[in-house]
């Protein structure tokens, strides 16, 4: 356990080196393909104050090159932990207002759990033990707590969880990899993940099996990821993002690497069929697959997600899974 920003605590698994704790800067959200320069924030100012002498350590990202190549479980986890630690501040500055401190938003379309009820009716959440995976600043967990649920917010990035501490809330924060959940079998009634972990791991079945293990019989896991069709298009919000530029069937990961060829950011592509097979092979029933449509009220861009592309192509896939 390590002290967090506001005297709260973040439980870390496995026990780790405290010198690793984060930085600030670089671009956007889940990385674009090919790389785009992130937008300047129009929302909130940087939030966690660092000492004067603090080294942001962002040169890794500013000198990295984008490519498609293989990246295994360990390399992907190490790269993404570093990337999210370095970029958590930027992510929360850029997207914190859209996400809200205590809303449950499934993706850039703005689908809200209040209307979607993918975890069930809000009144049925009371007293439910819920694991949020890839929780970031814990916005969804905070909404769940407000419904009377008992959430636990887990993330690979200590810096993201420091933002959860900054915003506040009285639920546990756990710093761990979703591929090795530090919980006993059957600990939770529900699990959820809004773009957390699954887009970033080399072996999604490791995560799905872990989630199944920690769920009680009848438990539900709902997770959102980038809609697989997006991998065939350039990750651009404008018209240039509407022409197919690579094969939908090419599962080669998107990797950013430093000058030594070490991955500093990784995203993994699975086709829709792959995702369905992953869910079923991991012991879940697929109850629903939601492709949120872009609503008229949402005029915001989020990286390559935009009203233009959203009106023509799905941008998010939400999988609703149950274990027997």
Binding site for ligand SAM (CB under 6 A): 30, 77, 80, 84, 99, 133-136, 155-157, 160, 177-179, 194-197, 200-201
Give me the least distance between CB of 178 and ligand SAM, in Å please.
3
Q: Which of 190, 206, 219, 189 is nearest to 323 (CA)?
A: 219
Whether the Cβ atoms of residue 137 and residue 157 lie closer than 8 Å to each other: no
The residue among 240 and 295 lying less far from ligand SAM, judged by its C-beta, is 295
Q: Which residues pair with 40 in a beta bridge?
A: none
Query: What angle do the packed helices 204-214 and 272-281 form, to 10 degrees?
Result: 40
In whole angstroms, how close is the CB of 286 to ligand SAM at the nearest point? 21
Closest distance to ligand SAM from the beta carbon of 35 (Å): 16
Whole-angstrom CA distances from 168 to 92, 106, 138, 141 are 14, 21, 9, 11
Query: Shortest gap between Cβ of 292 and ligand SAM (angstroms)?
Result: 14
Q: Which residue is associated with the tokens 């699990």?
A: 191
The alpha carbon of 283 is separated from its chain's Cα centroid by a whole number of angstroms, namely 22
Closer CB to ligand SAM, 99 or 264, in the complex:
99
Q: Given the complex with ligand SAM, which of 92 and 257 has the nearer CB atom?
A: 92
How many residues would you count in the chain? Answer: 324
* CB contact set of 147 (below 8 Å; sequence gap of 6+): 122, 123, 125, 126
Minimum CB distance to ligand SAM, residue 23 (Å): 14
Q: Which is nearer to ligand SAM, 156 or 215 (CB)?
A: 156
Which of residues 179 and 282 has its CB atom nearest to ligand SAM in the complex? 179
* 65, 70, 74, 76: CA torsion to nearest 10: 40
Closest to ligand SAM by CB, 157 vs 306, is: 157
For the CA atoms of the chain, what is the radius of gyration? 18
Structure-block tokens of residue 244: 């197919």
Q: How far is the CB of 260 from ligand SAM (least distance, A)?
A: 22
Q: Concatenated DSSP letters for 58-127?
A: THHHHT-EEEE----HHHHHHHHHHHHHHHHHHHHHHHHHHH-SS--B-STT--BHHHH-TT--GGGGTT
Residue 64 Cβ, how far from ligand SAM at the closest point, in Å?
Answer: 17
**Cβ distance to ligand SAM smaller for residue 179 or 257:** 179
User: CB 273 → ligand SAM: shortest distance, Å?
Assistant: 23
Rounded Cα distance between 19 and 84, Å, is 15
Nearer to ligand SAM, 113 or 155 (CB): 155
- Tell me whether residue 165 or residue 239 sits nearer to ligand SAM (CB atom): 165
- Going from the C-alpha of 15 to that of each of 76, 165, 183, 223, the distances in angstroms are 19, 19, 15, 27
Q: At closest approach, how far in Å is the CB of 75 from ligand SAM? A: 12
């Amino acid at each position: 356990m390590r002290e967090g920003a506001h005297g709260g605590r973040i439980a870390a698994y496995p026990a780790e080196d405290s010198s690793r704790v984060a930085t600030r800067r670089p671009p956007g959200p889940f990385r674009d393909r090919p790389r785009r320069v992130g937008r300047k924030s129009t929302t909130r100012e940087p939030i966690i104050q660092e000492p004067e002498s603090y080294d942001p350590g962002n040169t890794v990202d500013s000198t990295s090159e984008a490519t498609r190549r293989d990246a295994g479980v360990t390399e992907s986890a190490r790269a993404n932990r570093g990337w999210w630690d370095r970029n958590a501040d930027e992510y929360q500055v850029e997207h914190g207002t859209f996400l809200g401190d205590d809303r449950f938003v499934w993706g850039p379309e703005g689908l809200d759990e209040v209307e979607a009820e993918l975890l069930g009716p809000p009144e049925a959440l009371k007293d439910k033990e819920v694991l949020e995976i890839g929780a970031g600043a814990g916005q969804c967990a905070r909404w769940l707590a407000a419904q009377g649920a008992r959430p636990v917010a887990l993330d690979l990035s200590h810096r993201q969880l420091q933002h959860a501490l900054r915003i506040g809330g009285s639920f546990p924060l756990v710093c761990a990899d979703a591929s090795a959940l530090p919980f006993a079998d059957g600990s939770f009634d529900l699990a959820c993940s809004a773009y957390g972990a699954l887009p970033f791991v080399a072996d999604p079945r490791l995560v799905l099996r872990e989630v199944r293990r920690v769920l009680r019989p009848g438990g539900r896991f709902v997770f959102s990821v980038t809609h697989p069709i997006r991998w065939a298009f350039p990750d651009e919000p404008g018209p240039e993002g509407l022409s197919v530029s690579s094969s939908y069937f090419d599962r080669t990961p998107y990797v950013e690497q430093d000058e030594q060829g070490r991955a500093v950011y990784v995203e993994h592509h699975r086709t829709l069929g792959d995702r369905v097979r992953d869910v079923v092979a991991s012991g879940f029933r697929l109850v629903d697959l939601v492709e949120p449509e872009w609503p008229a009220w949402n005029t915001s861009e989020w990286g390559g997600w935009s009203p233009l592309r959203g009106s023509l192509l799905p941008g998010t896939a939400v999988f609703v899974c149950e274990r027997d």
